[in-house]
Every structure is written in structure tokens, then in C-alpha cells.
Structure 1
Amino acid sequence: MKNITVYTAMTLVLLSLFCGCAGVSKEEIKEQERPAAVSGRVSKTIAILPFENNSVTDPEKYAPLSKGLCAILIADLKNSNTTLQIVEREKIQAILKEIALGQSGSIDQATAVKAGKLLGAQSIVFGSFMVLGNNVRLDARIIKVETGEVLTAESVAGDSSGLMNIAVDLAGKIAKSMKVAFNPVPLKSSGNLDAAVYFSQGLDALDKGDKEEAKRLFSKCVKLDPAYKEQVDNVKGLSE
């Protein structure tokens, strides 16, 4: 009887110690294995690369939109109260310059992944645009940088007089595919296409270091469609 009592006591002590240690380790394991999106400790970081120009109508005229669409999408996502961390356009341009990829350079999947790794992004968006008559089409793919896999492919299209509406539609689809909220700011204009070209040319001039030419083009853009003033205000390095 005495031996049984001692054995029972020892068993209870060991179980108590084991359960205590096990409880701590389980909590630690749960915390370590919890997805970043759930724990909230790590935000989703996404980079949007310049779009390739596949325009059929006046391809040379609309070539600058490659940068402009990228900037507009970045602004749309940033202003939508999304939890996504958006890589700054200026940082993207610096990386593209580093890997010797100019505005007219074609961005394939391998190049997109390489740029994404250098930018420290978890996902990267790249694609193309097409102006055909009075219509504009945007095609985008979202790539998981770590594996290089295509997470989703999205397309939007509409009348060329509503470029801002088209861009907002695509930004919303990007946010939805990343499983984050998207609350766009109400548009003041549907988005004049020619104004978007001036805006895009201004970005290109700024990237080349010609601030005076950039200001002139941005001024023409805003004069043609005042709604683009918010886009111009988002441009960094203009007043420095």
C-alpha cells in the first residue's frame, strides 16, 4: 500500500511537470506556426512593375503609359485603406535600372521574380496594356516571389475616356486576390486618356532628372483633367 502511494505521488509530480512544459511549448509552436496574415505581425508586401505596351492604336503615343499605369495603381491601392504594404514607385525604378531594364524593356516572369526579390516583396504584379481604338485593356498577373508561381491573372477593359475607372477596377481585383479590404476613394473624373499620357511623360522626365520638363508635363496633365492633380501630388522628388 505504501509503495502504491509513493508511486502515485511520483506519477502525479511527473505528469504535472510534463503538462506544464508541454503547455508552454504548444503555445510557442502555435505562435510560430500562425500565418502572418492572422497574427498581424508581418504585412503583405506587393510591388507593381511598369506595364508592357501592346497597343495597336498609336503604340508610340501610348508607350509612356507603361510607367503611368504603374503609378496610378500604386496610388489607388495606397489610398484605399488597404493593409497591403506597397513598394514605392521610385524604389521600383531604381531596381529596374539596376538590372538594366528600361521603360521599353519586356518584363517576363523570371525578371519579375528577380525584381521582386531585390525589392523585398512577397508578391509582384506585372502585365500589359492595350489601346485599341476607343478601348483600353489591362492584363495583370500576380506572382508569388518565393516560388515564382502565378497566384492569379486579372483583366479589365473599358472605354478609353474612363482610364481611372479601369485602373480602380484592376486595383480592386488585385486587393481581392490578396485577400485584403479595398475601399477606393471616390473618383472626381473617369480619367482622360490624353491627360494620363502627359502624366506618364512627366514621370519619365522626372526619372531622367529633368524636373522642369516634368513640371511642364504635369501642368498640362492637370489642366486637361484636374482630377489628376492628386496623382501628381503623390509623385515624390518633384519639389526637392
Structure 2
Amino acid sequence: MIFLVLATALLSASAASPKLAEKPTVAVLYFDYEGRSEEMGLLRKGLAQLLISDLSVNSNIQVIERARLQDLLDELKLNQSGSFDKATANKVGRLLGAHYLVIGSYFDVLGTLRLDARAVETETGRIVRSVGANGRPDDFLELEQKIATQLGQALVEAAQSREQSGKNARQRQPVPGTGAPAPGTVPGRPKRLPAEVAIGYSKALDAIDRDDKEVARKTLETVVRDQPDFQLASAELNRLLQ
């Protein structure tokens, strides 16, 4: 009941907030992994998908699907690269038609997981906002949603400022209800998601990208069995079984 009330309040606030004349388009790129674990390195795909899912709840921005990003990376033969330099990120953003990019990095050390992210204006390379969060790997979902909330607010404020600057406005009004919702209120999102389960989900996404449907199916079946309330994983599995 509490989660239903929170979700209803979020949607009401978003509906009541000022709308932008043109929704800014946002692309979430794969984060750089700065650790040594090969499995943790795969987390970048699951992290991107979760951020896309969270930011997509925001009615004031338009978020590019991960499949479009992956198709472009395949076309540009960038899949072997573990990171995006500034020039490559800008090129990918322009080809995707994104006004803003979400880029970042993560690492794990001594039982602590650290996530860092930046919202960047594609045209100028200007950093709109830098955010970060750290905690236990078992708190992965909480860390991800913390940065998603801050990024969502920053992206809408930046887009509104840009729009009003074009109208020679001196001031802008804050846009309420533009962050990501609290854990448990996003459709398809469990209340808790340890990094271990998120890595399994990421492995499945990687298998899908490689068109290895059998590995993807088996991996998703394990993820869904271990985390029955992870509806994003269930939806991916259902698509494979169709």
C-alpha cells in the first residue's frame, strides 16, 4: 500500500509539473569499470538498462533504448572497447541524436561498491552534474536509484534552463517530481537487487546482444528463480520464449 501511494504521488507531481516544449533526448552509455573482476565488468550492461528504466519514468525527458545504443556500437565495432573516451562518447551521442549523455564509472574494493555518473551536454561537452554513491554490493539497487534520482532532476533542470535561455528568460522555475521514484515504485523493479543478481541479468543481456539465445534463456531463468519480483528480467525471458 505504501509503495502504491508513493507511485501515485509521483505520477501526480509529474503531471502537475511544467512541461518542456521539446523533451530532451538522453542516451545512457555503458559505464567504465575500473576494477579487476571480469564478472563485475559485465555489470555495465545491467546498470545501463536499470538507469534507462528509471529515467524513462520521467515524463519530461525521452530516453534512448539500450538496444539502439548496442546496435550503434555493433555498427561502429566499438564492442571490444571497455570504455568511452570523450571523442567517442560525443560521436555516439550525436549519432543517436541525444541532447544529453549519461556517462560514468564504477569499481568495487574491500566489499564496497562505488558508482559515479555525469550528465553531459552532447553539443558542448559541458558537464551538467556529477553524482556518486557508494555502499555494499547488496545495496546495488539503492545506489543505482540514488544516482538516477539526481541525474533525472539535473537533466530536466538543464533542459528547462536551455529552453528558457532561448526565450531570454531571466529565471526558471524548478520542476517538481522529476527525479526517479523510490525503490519499489518503478514497474518491473524489485524492492532489493543485490549486485550478484544484477550481474546475472547483465550476463543475459550480453548473451542477447551476441544472439546467443540459449545462454540468455538459461541465465534469465536463473535470475528469475533467484529474484521472482524482478519483472524486467521476466519480461526479457518472456520475449525469448515467444
TM over 0.5: yes
Larger relative contact order (Cα-Cα within 8 Å, sequence gap ≥ 6): 2
Partners of 2:237 and 2:63 lie apart in 1 by: 14
Alignment-derived partner of residue 95 in structure 1: 72
Please name the residue that 1:135 is paired with. Answer: 112
For 1:51, which of 31, 41, 57 is the aligned residue? 31
Matched, 1:219 2:221: yes
TM-score, with structure 1 as normaliser: 0.76
Tell me by how many angstroms 1:206 deviates. 0.2
Larger radius of gyration: 1
How many pairs were matched up? Answer: 201
Contact 1:135 1:157 in 2 (8 A): yes
Question: Of 35, 40, 44, which residue of structure 2 is paired with 1:66?
Answer: 44
Does structure 2 retain, via aligned residues, the 8 Å contact 1:50–1:103?
no
Q: 2:55 aligns with which of 62, 77, 88?
A: 77
How far, CA to CA, are the matches of 1:154 and 1:65 in structure 2? 19
CA distance in 2, matches of 1:226, 1:143: 35
TM-score, with structure 2 as normaliser: 0.75
SS at match of 1:63: helix
Structure 1 residues 118 and 239, CA gap change in structure 2 (3 angstroms)? farther
Q: Residues 101, 211 of structure 1: CA spacing in aligned structure 2 closer, same or farther, 3 A cutoff?
A: same
CA displacement, residues 149-193 of structure 1 (integer Å, 9 cap, x when unaligned): 222211111111111111111110111111261251542332121
Equivalence map 1:88-167=2 (5 Å): 88-102=65-79, 104-167=81-144
Structure 1 residues 156 and 145: CA distance shift in structure 2, 3 A:
same
* Matched-pair identity in %: 32
Q: CA deviation at 1:195?
A: 0.8
More displaced stretch, 170-179 vs 186-195: 186-195
TM-fit CA distance, 1:64? 0.7
Secondary structure in 2 matching 1:121: coil
CA RMSD of superposed structures (Å): 2.3
Say whether 1:208 aligns with 2:210: yes
What is the alpha-carbon distance in structure 1 between the residues aligned to residue 46 and residue 96 of structure 2? Answer: 20
Alignment of 1:182 onto 2:189: no
3-state SS of 1:190 partner: coil
Alpha-carbon distance in 2 for matches of 1:200, 1:119: 22
1:171 to 1:97, Cα distance in 2 relative to 1, 3 A: same
The match for 1:196 among 195, 198, 216 is: 198
Quote the Cα distance in structure 2 between the aligned partners of 1:199 and 1:50.
15
Counterpart CA distance in 2 for 1:239 and 1:41 is 40
